[in-house]
Structure 1
Amino acid sequence: MTLDTFIAQAFAPASGAIDRSAIPGAVLGIVTKDGQRAVRCAGAAQLEPEREELSRDTWFDLASLTKVIFTTTRILQLAEEGRIDLDAPLTTAIPDLRQYDMDAAERKLTFRQCLAHQTHLPAVEPLYTYGQDPQTLRAFILQRVWKSGPPVYSDINFMLLGIAIERVTGQALMDQPLPPRLTFRPDPRRCAATERCTWRGRIIRGEVHDENAFAMGGASGHAGLFGTIDGVLDFAHSILDGSALTCASIKSICTRQSEKRTVGWEGAYTGWHGGDACSPSAIGHTGFTGTGLWIDFDRGMAWSLLTNRVHPSRHIDTGILPLRRATGEQVIALFDALAQQA
């Protein structure tokens, strides 16, 4: 069995979902630490207003994969450069955070707490309903008295981290340097379509699906990044081979900060979206539009499943969780079989 044969078999769950019209299209990619990779794709990049086929070069709205591919990685790189301290409060980069209340809880939040979703901040807030001026919305995020609650997976954490990156680097997120095949400014003609958005009154294609990221100018710490499957695999390979981050930072993204969360990522646990066959050290993350990336350090490999499952509507049960799990189980089983043959 070759890697190409392996990818064809591992793509079976996604192929079945496409055949059942559960999702329009999908692309699955696998990369190893030594640089081998294989990709398989099928289905439609767009169904409405007319059908367009998906290809290996289709750009996907990566949604919350922005949190790990861009924001987490950039924060860790800034920490490596000595420009921030992960255990220092955000106010070291954003001194005007809750500037009218020096005792505000938000002023005590650290970079690490935000990365690991260990704050009191809510999961999400419909910020776009307050307006579409990016600078005003950033100010709103910084000055809002956020309702206190138990730690949850929170977009707000990463919005704050995105603002911190802008402050430390002096560059807007839209202008941050990115590797090839990743961008905040995609060509809409090359993108997979997402939702028929009732707020914007059109099929979304080539602009960020997340309403808050759109209202904030197209890019935020929690969403806005687009990429091809090879762009995502390039990133995964840079984590596996240690070229993107130092050993200390790699340790951070593998070390639990809570039962399920590491610094930026989610760690493997029973029932998670990556499947139960993953190594205990595996990490992963998903995106609302139907994207996902998983890295298994013990096996020295990673895989990404990119779909446009929200096209033409998010209000359809596409079975994305069981699809992700079934794909992960197939990937691991076939990878182990291939390794035994070597």
Structure 2
Amino acid sequence: MTGTSANERFEKAFDALEQAVDGRRIPGGVLGYADLEGKRLTRAVGSAAIVPQVRPMTTEMWFDLASLSKVLFTTSRILALACEGFIDLDAPLTTVIPDFRQYDPNCWERKVTFRQCLGHSTHFPAVEPIYTYGDDPARLRAFVLQREWARVETPVYSDINFILLGIALERLAGKPIRDLDPGAGFAFSGDPAETAATEHCAWRGHVMCGEVHDENCYALQGSGHAGLFGTVDAVLDHAENLLQRDIEGDPSVELMRTPLSDRRTHGWERPYENWHGGAHCSAETIGHTGFTGTSLYVDFERGYTWTLLTNRVHPSRHFESGIMTLRRLVSDRINGAKE
């Protein structure tokens, strides 16, 4: 990283976001940066919605954080429970969900552990249209737990891993996810007037705004793989808290930093070739993305964090928004890459 100031690096990164909006690749977005020296920078550009009415983007806008929920909500809670001794990460999920695939006691699914789910080293498929199997959330949970899952030979990033972790959290708490505390500054829905719109859903028949975009999370009425809403400041607050807790030696943050494979830690990703976090992160960076156009990175070596929140699926996912290229460019500029 060059000697340029945080302000200069932020300006260059924001230019990349602004150009994506000006080029009509995405409707709008918010960029945020914070560090352990107390600096915080946020800026918005473009529109929070373009249909049915145009609304301007602001730094106070709420976002459907999509799969950032996996790290901001589910991973944090699973690791806290592990550190407090309530679960063993190397024990199978059946220690908390004993009825998981109960009709086939020798099946591979019953051997899957919490740590394997966190590291996406299971053999579940990437995704399944669970919402197409019914409308009752309790029955859909039973479907998830009792179906014979197609075994994917090479492990992939899978929503099923975190749907199961979410069910485990529900079992331990004795209540559904949406009755749990979403965390400081977060919620499981948003005020439509203050939330960036996502997609026009053909199934639900309208533009999603303030209700979860992910179809499976919507049908389950809460899940461990998606469903969290928050603002740029809420996301930065959470990431700053991780930086501070790491200095204090928090064991759950240590697990978030501990590699489980060449690409993954407990819940998070780590830098690899062609990573969405760019080519100039330190090796001590963790990050994650969300399908709606969100991303978050925490660099423990350099003591700062940045987040890019966009509504790139609005009004449709079926358009090449260039979000992966944008994430890399923004991250490289935040990290002072020479151009």
Counterpart AA for 2:144: I
Equivalent residues of 1:98, 1:104 under 8 A apart: yes
1:29-40 maps to which residues of 2 (within 5 A)?
Answer: 29-40=32-43
For these two proteins, the number of residue pairs brought into alignment is: 334
Counterpart AA for 1:251: E
CA separation in 1, counterparts of 2:23 and 2:120? 36
1:169: Cα distance to partner? 1.5
Counterpart position of 1:276: 279
Is 1:208 paired with 2:212?
A: yes
Counterpart position of 2:180: 176
CA separation in 2, counterparts of 1:141 and 1:123? 14
1:250: Cα distance to partner? 2.0
Q: TM-score, normalised by structure 1?
A: 0.94
Is 1:328 paired with 2:331?
A: yes
1:9: Cα distance to partner? 2.7
Counterpart position of 1:198: 202
1:245: Cα distance to partner? 9.2
Is 1:311 paired with 2:331?
A: no
Match of 1:80 among 77, 80, 83: 83
Equivalent residues of 2:182, 2:228 under 8 A apart: no
Q: Which moved more, 1:255-264 or 1:62-71?
A: 255-264
Equivalent residues of 2:36, 2:240 under 8 A apart: yes
Counterpart position of 1:157: 161
Task: State the secondary structure of the residue aligned to 1:266.
Answer: coil
Match of 1:289 among 289, 292, 299: 292
CA separation in 2, counterparts of 1:56 and 1:181? 14
1:192: Cα distance to partner? 0.3
Q: TM-score, normalised by structure 2?
A: 0.95
List runs of 5+ in structure 1 lacking aligned partners. Answer: 337-342
Task: State the secondary structure of the residue aligned to 1:11.
Answer: helix
CA separation in 2, counterparts of 1:301 and 1:34? 9
1:4: Cα distance to partner? 4.5
Q: What CA deviation, in whole Å up to 9, does each residue of 1:227-282 have, x standing for no partner?
A: 10001001101111007995322222122211211110111112100110001121
Counterpart position of 1:111: 114
Equivalent residues of 1:8, 1:40 under 8 A apart: no
Q: What CA deviation, in whole Å up to 9, does each residue of 1:27-58 have, x standing for no partner?
A: 00011124321101111000001100011110
Counterpart position of 1:51: 54
CA separation in 2, counterparts of 1:206 and 1:245? 36
Counterpart AA for 1:124: V
CA separation in 1, counterparts of 2:189 and 2:315? 22
CA separation in 1, counterparts of 2:177 and 2:248? 20
CA separation in 2, counterparts of 1:329 and 1:181? 28
Equivalent residues of 2:246, 2:253 under 8 A apart: no
Q: What CA deviation, in whole Å up to 9, does each residue of 1:154-175 have, x standing for no partner?
A: 0000000000001111221101
CA separation in 1, counterparts of 2:251 and 2:333? 31
Counterpart position of 2:304: 301
CA separation in 1, counterparts of 2:57 and 2:107? 48
CA separation in 1, counterparts of 2:184 and 2:76? 16
Q: What CA deviation, in whole Å up to 9, does each residue of 1:73-118 have, x standing for no partner?
A: 0100111221111111111111111111111211111100000000
CA separation in 1, counterparts of 2:73 and 2:163? 12
1:204/1:160 CA distance change after superposition, 3 Å: same
CA separation in 2, counterparts of 1:152 and 1:207? 27
CA separation in 2, counterparts of 1:107 and 1:179? 30
CA separation in 2, counterparts of 1:275 and 1:268? 8
Q: What CA deviation, in whole Å up to 9, does each residue of 1:5-46 have, x standing for no partner?
A: 543332011000000010000100011124321101111000
Task: State the secondary structure of the residue aligned to 1:242.
Answer: helix
RMSD (Å), alpha carbons: 1.6
Task: State the secondary structure of the residue aligned to 1:148.
Answer: coil
Q: Percent identity?
A: 54
CA separation in 2, counterparts of 1:99 and 1:244? 43
Q: Which moved more, 1:148-157 or 1:5-14?
A: 5-14
Counterpart position of 2:95: 92
CA separation in 1, counterparts of 2:180 and 2:10? 33
Match of 1:186 among 190, 200, 205: 190
